[in-house]
A and B are shown apart, each in its own frame.
Chain A
């Protein structure tokens, strides 16, 4: 069997973080979490090619989700990014501008996110 897919999930709400962690873990993903953009950036710099997909909230202290997306798209262009926002379309629009691959609006169904992740990191032509 192939290596498990590796996800980095970033949210300053620790309840959401642990829910996502449990869910994706149970779906067979290897999951790391970070509580803000700065913590996430340090993890990414530490393990440059480790992750396949980044799922990030947008409104967070220090480095916001939008900031994180801009930096990641420049430094780790291969990494797929899903942005999640619960604050109307303001930060959501900025996330698209920063080239997030997908922007989702909360509340989000976990199975829907999993589909999105799977579509992003396993393009259809890979699984005939």
Chain B
């Protein structure tokens, strides 16, 4: 069963559009992105939209097997090719003929096998271990890696000629923290999926305040980590517990906003600090992974100012309300805004008292 590519962010929509334009070209594709972003999902979508969808989709993980085993898995072997080769075995290149060969973790392929791979990609021919016969193969190669292959090439860990041959179409999937707007639809999708798979489980959907926290989290393990959290939720049915268990800081532990003015200097934008934090801060408000043309269209100072001030206001309001036991008129006095303004802001930012 294959997972559809879920998301509403510009980068995911662009990837979907790219897939529909290139799926029938059967040109080699290189998919890059951090672990857990969904590289195999993209490969499956390419396959599903191509004319090869009725043939095999064969996957091999180049990092999971030792070199000699990887070689015999890819190319197959003749009976007696090596000790233990009791009978002839087909390689993935043969199984995937007329279909797709998905080379996962290509960046971890040993150099010696890279040259053999290059030869097959150039000639469309290979020979199984222990065989002197050449076989023709017609596979559509889709490769994926979480390595930066440009770096690997500089370190001579990855062959340049193989890189250019694979990199005919490049699909880069941004990490989840750079497309937070995809998080709600991913949660929706996986909750529905697990409910249908395990009808006896009753994990609830996140309430808006929890959803907000889930969206603010950085998800170092990307979609796969989110997916695991939802699986856990189906069993535990406690988003609070799941949020507590998330590694590293979660939003409640992120730098506390000081409102008494004493530690103001930690918030002043000193030059060096500003320079160091620049890309990370900006990426919280606009998607930096798009082309500069698109990016410049997205960067509106007015819009960003509004998003940034909304976020700080929301935190400050929540913080003060918490301190005064959700006494709204006291909070309004402390914040030096009218009671009415506070209520308006609370509803705008969806700030509500914690449910006990």
Contact = CB atoms under 8 A, between A and B. Distances in A.
A44 to B, nearest CB: 11
The interface centre, meaning the residue of B165, B167, B168 with most chain A CB atoms within 10 A of its CB, is B168
17 contacts: A36-B291, A38-B21, A42-B21, A61-B170, A61-B291, A62-B18, A62-B170, A63-B22, A63-B168, A64-B167, A67-B27, A70-B27, A71-B22, A74-B25, A90-B160, A90-B161, A91-B164
B117 to A, nearest CB: 16
Nearest to B289: A61
A87 to B, nearest CB: 8
Interface string A38-67: 100110000000000000000001111011
A64 to B, nearest CB: 6
Interface in A84-107: 90-91, 94
Contact of B170 (A41, A64, A70, A91): A64
A41 B25 CA distance: 12
Contacts of B165: 94
Contacts of B164: 66, 90-91, 94
A14 interface: yes
Interface string A70-83: 11001000000000
Contacts, number: 45
Given A38-B18, A90-B164, 8 more contacts: A14-B292, A61-B170, A62-B18, A63-B22, A63-B169, A66-B164, A70-B25, A91-B164
Interface residues of B, number: 18
For chain A, the bracket of interface size reads 10 to 19
Given A14-B292, A91-B164, A61 B21 contact: no
A3 to B, nearest CB: 29
A86 B11 CA distance: 28
B172 interface: yes
Nearest to A36: B291
Instruction: Please report whether the interface of chain A is mostly helix, strand, loop or mixed according to DSSP.
Output: helix
Which 6 A-B pairs rank lowest in CB-CB distance, beginning with the nearest?
A: A67-B168, A90-B164, A67-B169, A67-B27, A91-B164, A66-B168
Contacts of B160: 90
B293 interface: yes
A76 B325 CA distance: 69
A12 to B, nearest CB: 8
A123 B169 CA distance: 33
B25 A71 contact: yes
A70 B24 CA distance: 12
Interface string B52-70: 0000000000000000000
Nearest to A42: B21
B135 to A, nearest CB: 22
Interface in A101-117: none
Contact of A70 (B168, B171, B291): B168
Contacts of B293: 35
Contacts of A63: 18, 21-22, 168-169
B286 to A, nearest CB: 18
